[in-house]
Structure 1
Amino acid sequence: MIKTINIPDDLTTSIMPIVHSDRRSSPRTQCIGLFWIFLGVVVGFSFIGSMAFAVVYGIEQNRRMNNQTITVDGNSDLCLTRYCVKAASSLIGSIDETVDPCENFYEFVCGTQLKNTKISNDANSQDIFVTLETRLQDAIIGREYVNHAFPLIVLLFADLLTLSTSNNTNIPKAVLNAQRLFASCVNETAIMADSVNVLLSFVNTELGGWPILQGPMWDDATFNFSQLLLKLAEYSSDVIYIAGTEIDEMNSSVQAIRIGQSDLGLLDRSYYVNESDVTKAYRQFIQNFALALATDRSMINNDVNDIFNFEKTIATYHWTLNEQIVRHTETIHSTIGNLSSAINTTFDFVRHLRRLYLLANVSLVDTDVVIASELDYLRNVSLIVDQQSPRVLQNYMVWRFMMSRAWIIPRRFRTIKQQFDQVFLGTTVEQVRAMKCARYVNYNMGFAVSKLYIDKYFDKDARIESIVMIDNIRNQFIDIINQSTWMNSISKSRAIDKARAINAKVGYPAYLDDNNNTKLEKNYAEYNFNSSFARNVLLMLKLNAKKNLQVLRQLLDREEWIGYTPTIVNAFYNPSFNDISFPAGILQTPFFYKDAPKYLNYGAIGTIIGHEITHGFDNFGGLYDKDGNKILWWDNETLSAFNQRKTCIIDQYNNYTVTQIDLPVNGEQTQGENIADNGGLKAAFAAYQKWTHIHRNLDKKLPGLTKYSVEQMFFLNYGQIWCSKMTDQYVRNLVLHDVHSPSQFRILGSTSNFPEFDRVFGCQPGQGNSRVNKCTVW
């Protein structure tokens, strides 16, 4: 994945889909960007289109320009299409020519843009992904919901999720329900009327109540830890432990059961070590939320402290992301029949799993495979749970459920959450409701949304050129394998076979391009929504948990899109399927435009394609063979040479410091993405060079940028897609809990290792942006 997916509060999968490269969870997908899951913390997207490409000599001028090349005479070397003018404006508005590209290419390519960019109050970052996600959401929610106070937004799309006043019988039921879900989410009046009562009724009748609200009246004799854990899991709320279905890494043709640690309210255990503004804000969040709901406030202060102290205790044993990466060999494969002896926990996971899967009418047998990770967490926390009072456990587990539901109730409660978000994320106001709702519907009913999007806005011919680019870059990566000096012939042959076997999914699954909506309707058959958003959310939680459990007995379809939808700005590599995916959402400008000069396309989407291909051969993807099975397919000599080369990458990035917050980059934690960034840049540039060799002098230059060669323009566009401005809080969470390096080091790290960058810009090894001892894996 190239960019962190910011998951809405109620992303509803029973086991959270972790899509970065090294998290041992489901589904196993590698991507080009950041991914840390915020339960109850939504990362807002900015409405302010401050990226220069959104303003191209005036929006009205652009609308009047046609899309044909304008030439002064028959020998013009300039590309003056609307797209080329827009791309030129973007780059000119980003580059800081007072900086030497050989000293700091990030500051050179992004400096002016960073100086002129302001992070919106409802966001914690501003970059090209934010802008494109906003553009997609504009398409999804329609013009009537867009905040016109921000005139720089390019309103390209109309109302996909707005319920039509006409009785269009041709609209699939799945789409109608997606529209109903959206309508209920933006209806503040209806939310005000019933959401609190619906939520509290659910807590009291299904979860056994929330003691913090009831004071001494709560009866601990009714407490049943196993039953509460089961009920929360039934509603896609994994607290303390996770349990669910994923592909068996040892046999990618079948599904397996996964158990492991759940997440923490503050994500990373480092937050709990010392008292800080974040821990104070977190406790205040719990307290204020409870005060707003309570009928008896007599025990709230004590309960808040107990909730936090319990979470602080289990955080002691919670594995950090880096530990999950370096200790992946401690994950065990067992079966239901042998699980109890294999993990040796006081909590009866076998009984829990049998009861959990029965909720979806799936009866487990002794031979069902179970993958267990974070074993010492499971053992230690099971002992801690045994020693806790019913009140503390009930309070904590219901709090974690409520924390993620704060956004579905009236604004006064969301304001309480926003006060916490301001400290934890750096966002000062709540994200515009329509945008938040669009993201929620898109993540939960993304294929219904995509059906509308691709029919109305996606250039389907773009798929053809994208596939050609994928083949070209794949061929260059195969050449890189062939030219490697550290692999023996057997390992080279196997690596080439794997590269050739990579399946590419481009744009959207084929069934969405068909007038027959049978599959779409089947997938969402039980998704029937009404005007009550709180009820709709609870139904969504339950349905998606059920779906995750049911797939244990279903045949795997390698053409399925698992864990992501076409209407997302990202790209993915799935080692279990050995496939790469490029959703329709990323196949738009400035990443890709079918009539753009090829140096722009290869510098943007091309490097992303190369990145995803390289993921199949990084420290994690390289553990899987061409069929997606986790087996050792490299010989020991080659594996040893690979480890030496990846150590160079680890050491290089360990030496980078994020000066904004004075924290070092974790080279071990980010190694897979750094390997992919370096390999992807190299493969894409080689593919562009081959294209220019065949199509000599075909690429025209951009107005105002004629002094730069086409090869330099390749690197300029590569650099620009990673320009990013972030709040201190966002950067801190990124460094602690993400497998991707901060943006500036994605640019600096890969270009400083690439001799072709030195040649193109005339850099000498030893300058700031050119390493003397370059790190090369691929």
Structure 2
Amino acid sequence: MNAWSDNDRDNMGPPVTRAASANSIPPLKNGSDLRESGYLIDVGSRTARFRRKHKNKMLYLLSFILLFLLLSIAIAMAVLYVKQKNKKPIPLCLSKECLRSAANLALSMDPNAHPCEDFYQYVCGNWAKEHPRPDAFQSFDWFREKQSKVYATVRDFLNKNITNQPLPVKQAKDLYTACMDTETLNKRGLKPILKQLELLGLPAYPTYINVTDDTDYAAYDFDWLEAVIKIKVQLGMDVLIGFDIFTDPKNSSIYKLVMGSPETTNPFPSMRNGKKRHIGRRSLVKEKIEQYKNDNLYDILDDTNGAKGFKSAENKDDEEKITHIYKLFYAELIKLFVVEAAPKSYNLTELYLDQNIFLAANDYYNFSNDMYELEADNDTSSEDDEYLNIPEYTVYEIQAHTDMIVKDNNGTAIPIWKRYVEGVFNTSDVKLNFNTDKILVSDPDLMYMSLMAAYLSKASPVLIELYVWIKVVEVMAAHTTTELRILFQRSYEALQSRDSYTPSRTHQCVSAVNEMLGLAVSYAIADARFFYNTKPKIELMLNELKNALAHLVGQARWLDDDTKLATYQKIIQMKTLIGFPDWLLNAEKLEEYYQGIEVNPKTHLENLINIIQVKIKKALNKFRIGNNGSWATDPIEVNAYHTFQENTITVPLVMLQYPFFDLGLDSLNYGSLGTILGHEITHGFDNFGRLFDKNGNLLPWWTNETINSFVNKTQCFVDQYSSYIVPELGEHVDGKKTLGENIADNGGLREALAALREHLRKKGPEQKLPGFEHLSSEQLFFLSFGNLWCGTSTKETLKSDLSDEHSPQIFRARGALQNNNDFAKTWKCPTGSPMNPSKKCIIF
């Protein structure tokens, strides 16, 4: 029979066929034969049987394990498949905003630099190559590049037909037209200035020159006080006396009169690309700077001639060189007016006239130095806390103190202060009560006012007139003829360097229009869609930043509970002004705002003066009106501001655009604009902001214990930033002077990162940036922050930057990142590496 039948079962192989002899019985064989033939199998030992049995079990076990692994892999693959099927991959952001941001970052970066060694070089190493500095700028960065583009936009608009626009917008165009009409400016010559001098009661040229050689100096009299009053009212300019209406430091809801040393020394538009500072003005803390020496000479235009007269000073010592340049400038300025206005029949020889003029320039320069020394000697370097108690006086009390100082210096006292304040307010609708309306005067300012009065009481009237005359003519002259603008330009270049440049005439005129009629220009470029598109995003960002600061304050162990509570309250009450005023797009409101202004497309200087006069009158009329807060700047200024006395953040419209916002990804927006806004928020709690409470009042609201802890922590920042050296100059940053801004930079970065994390936690992961898919959102955040401070500068600008309250931009980026633990973790920087020092400075 067959051993394996295939009936009704699977056939395991072909059937076996026996040979024909298979039916016969084979002969018996011995054991060996049987074994050799395969019929017998050796009987094994017990060990052999065990091995056989164990081998079978191992096979079963291995089979089971293999089956289990296969099953596990199958299950895992099934789970992953389901997850992958349900989970969408994070897509690339391919919007034009993302592509633009990606291209900018990629082109600006130096891939050969290591982020943990020099993050600024890593992010900005190629920025200067991709953004060449225009000749008109001695320093160039994102802020200046944006401002240039804004000016270009305004220029294009002002060159269009705008007949259907509101009156102020048309006036802005006329103001621009008058500024650009250099042919008319040259044709009118010095007549606009001469007319204004007559209205001010000043001569066409200084009496000091004595052109007719018949002036009796001993009998000459000059009412300097009357002239100074008229100059303030008609030009809005401080000469000898500084006067302002300012928010009461201790009650921000009302205004106070303020007097002291001159502060508004040039009310006209700047004709150069100067830096704008934060508007968080230190109340009555007068920052005495050499305005009378520098500011006015910087307001100059293009140079088309040589600088023969100034080049003679190039080989002199620096101090002697500067003195020579100034004296020569003032001599040439005076001579232009003498030649224009002096009687043609005067008997003086050209040589004698030139000698008189240069002697006048020399005496003016010495007089100016004396005035500057009076201001500088009475400046203060005291700590901010001392300004918590600023004295206030009646005009009679100020006069009594002044008279005492004048007599002590053997001078003759005259009534000054009541007559001055009364004369200024005569142009307004306000009536003063000199018994109750007190004036805020800091101790240094009171000393200046008294010593100034003593100095003038003994000075020659003709010399005082010379001083006042040059001060006034200097600020007006830059806005007239090409000849005068060239004089300014040559002087500026001689004082600065041969690689200094001046903006184009177009740029200057757009800047002037923006400065004088900023809201009118803003009306033309503002869009109503802003209110429901961009503004809600910024409001959300600001709220997240405030919440982030509140959280950081809660973690700060050096703040006691009372101070923390007060800090929370100040954060809650901090107001924000975003984009532009809500009423701006209302044509009637705009016309009401600029009511009284007159502009003629043929009279540039008169246009500026008229606008200034309207603004001065409005400022005087608001004295009795409560302070409801106001915009710190125009919507088209590239900056952001913290106003201490109003506890308000102002974010102009142009800051809410590329390259600060609208960057495509939240990580980029928060790394740029978010850190800027965080900076401004932190200003409310820095070394000066901490003096102002939630209502913007200059009142103590920190406990003494907290103040001591704060001071100890700030020393870390002072030491850190003082260690930074500008390689091109070999000079250190002033860590104490820049302390407030450095604290704001550090706090703003930490707040913005915390706000971004919370934002993404609610919103979910953001898209990837093309070309940067390998980077996380936090890494992109830090890239955006570093890129914000990319820029290039000349040595002269770097030198100037070291005297500013802000650190040079490279150190603004480096300092904040070195103090940030999250930066080190995100970029995996080892402890002790340049960007991750073991010692970090942290306040908030």
Q: Whole-Å Cα distance in 2 between the matches of residues 656 and 626 of structure 1?
A: 35
**Could you say which residue in structure 1 is the equivalent of 2:108?**
94
TM alignment of 1:576-615, pairs within 5 A = 576-593=645-662, 596-615=664-683
Q: Does 1:224 align with 2:246?
A: no
Q: Tell me by how many angstroms 1:320 deviates.
A: 9.6
Q: Aligned to 2:636, what secondary structure does the other structure show? A: coil
**Could you say which residue in structure 1 is the equivalent of 2:41?**
none
Q: Whole-Å Cα distance in 2 between the matches of residues 302 and 408 of structure 1?
A: 26
Which AA in structure 2 matches 1:420? S
Q: Tell me by how many angstroms 1:632 deviates.
A: 0.5
- 335, 339, 351: which one aligns with 2:398: 339
TM alignment of 1:740-755, pairs within 5 A = 740-755=806-821
Shift of the 276–650 alpha-carbon distance from structure 1 to 2, 3 Å rule, reads farther
Q: Tell me by how many angstroms 1:116 deviates.
A: 5.2
1:324-367 per-residue CA deviation (whole Å, 9 max, x = no partner) reads: 67467267331325434567664733432222222324332222
Q: Tell me by how many angstroms 1:626 deviates.
A: 0.7
TM alignment of 1:458-473, pairs within 5 A = 461-473=533-545
Shift of the 692–319 alpha-carbon distance from structure 1 to 2, 3 Å rule, reads farther
Deviates most, 545-554 or 635-644: 545-554
**Could you say which residue in structure 2 is the equivalent of 1:112?**
126
Q: Does 1:759 align with 2:815?
A: no
TM alignment of 1:536-547, pairs within 5 A = 536-547=607-618
**Could you say which residue in structure 1 is the equivalent of 2:705?**
637
Q: Aligned to 2:797, what secondary structure does the other structure show? A: helix
- 172, 179, 190: which one aligns with 2:166: 172
Shift of the 390–705 alpha-carbon distance from structure 1 to 2, 3 Å rule, reads farther
Q: Whole-Å Cα distance in 1 between the matches of residues 799 and 290 of structure 2?
A: 11
**Could you say which residue in structure 1 is the equivalent of 2:771?**
704
Q: Whole-Å Cα distance in 2 between the matches of residues 271 and 525 of structure 1?
A: 35
CA contact (8 A) 2:101 2:664 kept: no
Shift of the 309–252 alpha-carbon distance from structure 1 to 2, 3 Å rule, reads same
**Could you say which residue in structure 2 is the equivalent of 1:494?**
566
Which AA in structure 2 matches 1:578? N
TM alignment of 1:614-653, pairs within 5 A = 614-653=682-721
Q: Does 1:268 align with 2:327?
A: no
Q: Whole-Å Cα distance in 2 between the matches of residues 565 and 99 of structure 1?
A: 40
Q: Tell me by how many angstroms 1:666 deviates.
A: 1.9
1:198-232 per-residue CA deviation (whole Å, 9 max, x = no partner) reads: 11222244241264587214856241121121122
CA contact (8 A) 2:747 2:843 kept: yes
Q: Whole-Å Cα distance in 2 between the matches of residues 659 and 395 of structure 1?
A: 44
Which AA in structure 2 matches 1:312? N
- 405, 415, 421: which one aligns with 2:486: 415
Deviates most, 480-489 or 763-772: 763-772
Which AA in structure 2 matches 1:521? E
Q: Whole-Å Cα distance in 1 between the matches of residues 94 and 477 of structure 2?
A: 50
**Could you say which residue in structure 1 is the equivalent of 2:338?**
294
Q: Whole-Å Cα distance in 1 between the matches of residues 182 and 222 of structure 2?
A: 35
Which AA in structure 1 matches 2:645? S
Which AA in structure 1 matches 2:519? F
Q: Whole-Å Cα distance in 1 between the matches of residues 324 and 113 of structure 2?
A: 42
Q: Whole-Å Cα distance in 1 between the matches of residues 574 and 760 of structure 2?
A: 25
Provide the TM-score with structure 1 as the length reference.
0.82
**Could you say which residue in structure 2 is the equivalent of 1:256?**
256
CA contact (8 A) 1:195 1:534 kept: no
Q: Tell me by how many angstroms 1:318 deviates.
A: 3.0
1:168-216 per-residue CA deviation (whole Å, 9 max, x = no partner) reads: 3xx2222222221111111112211225211122224424126458721
Q: Tell me by how many angstroms 1:485 deviates.
A: 0.2
CA contact (8 A) 1:210 1:395 kept: no
Higher Rg: 2
Q: Aligned to 2:478, what secondary structure does the other structure show? A: helix
Shift of the 210–118 alpha-carbon distance from structure 1 to 2, 3 Å rule, reads farther
CA contact (8 A) 1:174 1:448 kept: yes
Q: Aligned to 2:136, what secondary structure does the other structure show? A: coil
Q: Does 1:358 align with 2:417?
A: no
CA contact (8 A) 1:345 1:378 kept: no
Q: Tell me by how many angstroms 1:478 deviates.
A: 0.5
Q: Tell me by how many angstroms 1:271 deviates.
A: 8.1
Deviates most, 328-337 or 397-406: 328-337
Q: Tell me by how many angstroms 1:390 deviates.
A: 2.4
Q: Aligned to 2:646, what secondary structure does the other structure show? A: coil
Shift of the 232–587 alpha-carbon distance from structure 1 to 2, 3 Å rule, reads same
CA contact (8 A) 1:195 1:532 kept: no
Shift of the 662–395 alpha-carbon distance from structure 1 to 2, 3 Å rule, reads farther
Whose helix fraction is larger, Structure 1's or Structure 2's? 2
Q: Does 1:691 align with 2:688?
A: no
Q: Aligned to 1:300, what secondary structure does the other structure show? A: helix
Q: Whole-Å Cα distance in 2 between the matches of residues 190 and 163 of structure 1?
A: 21
1:72-125 per-residue CA deviation (whole Å, 9 max, x = no partner) reads: xx8563222211121112112211222222222222221211355443222221
Q: Does 1:716 align with 2:783?
A: yes
Q: Tell me by how many angstroms 1:587 deviates.
A: 0.7
TM alignment of 1:517-532, pairs within 5 A = 517-530=587-600, 531-532=602-603
Q: Whole-Å Cα distance in 1 between the matches of residues 135 and 439 of structure 2?
A: 44
**Could you say which residue in structure 1 is the equivalent of 2:202?**
208
Q: Aligned to 2:111, what secondary structure does the other structure show? A: coil
Which AA in structure 1 matches 2:417? F
**Could you say which residue in structure 2 is the equivalent of 1:199?**
193
Q: Tell me by how many angstroms 1:566 deviates.
A: 1.0
Q: Tell me by how many angstroms 1:282 deviates.
A: 3.0
Q: Tell me by how many angstroms 1:693 deviates.
A: 2.4
Which AA in structure 2 matches 1:417? F
Q: Aligned to 1:534, what secondary structure does the other structure show? A: helix
Q: Percent same amino acid at aligned positions?
A: 27
Which AA in structure 1 matches 2:386? T
Q: Tell me by how many angstroms 1:269 deviates.
A: 8.9
Q: Does 1:188 align with 2:182?
A: yes
Q: Aligned to 2:522, what secondary structure does the other structure show? A: helix
Shift of the 658–203 alpha-carbon distance from structure 1 to 2, 3 Å rule, reads farther
CA contact (8 A) 1:424 1:729 kept: no
Which AA in structure 2 matches 1:606? G
Q: Aligned to 2:259, what secondary structure does the other structure show? A: strand
Structure 2: segments with no counterpart, 5+ residues: 1-87, 267-287, 295-316, 340-352, 407-413
**Could you say which residue in structure 2 is the equivalent of 1:127?**
141
Q: Tell me by how many angstroms 1:306 deviates.
A: 1.4
**Could you say which residue in structure 2 is the equivalent of 1:236?**
236
Deviates most, 350-359 or 739-748: 350-359
Q: Aligned to 1:564, what secondary structure does the other structure show? A: coil
Which AA in structure 2 matches 1:232? I
Q: Whole-Å Cα distance in 2 between the matches of residues 450 and 534 of structure 1?
A: 23
1:364-410 per-residue CA deviation (whole Å, 9 max, x = no partner) reads: 22222322233343333333333332233222222222222233112
Q: Aligned to 2:749, what secondary structure does the other structure show? A: helix
- 722, 734, 747: which one aligns with 1:666: 734
**Could you say which residue in structure 1 is the equivalent of 2:834?**
768
Q: Whole-Å Cα distance in 2 between the matches of residues 91 and 246 of structure 1?
A: 44
RMSD: 2.8
Shift of the 314–529 alpha-carbon distance from structure 1 to 2, 3 Å rule, reads same
**Could you say which residue in structure 1 is the equivalent of 2:514?**
442
TM alignment of 1:729-744, pairs within 5 A = 729-736=796-803, 738-744=804-810
Q: Whole-Å Cα distance in 1 between the matches of residues 528 and 184 of structure 2?
A: 31
**Could you say which residue in structure 1 is the equivalent of 2:21?**
none
Q: Tell me by how many angstroms 1:502 deviates.
A: 0.6
CA contact (8 A) 1:611 1:679 kept: yes
Which AA in structure 2 matches 1:698? E
Deviates most, 328-337 or 340-349: 340-349
**Could you say which residue in structure 2 is the equivalent of 1:726?**
793
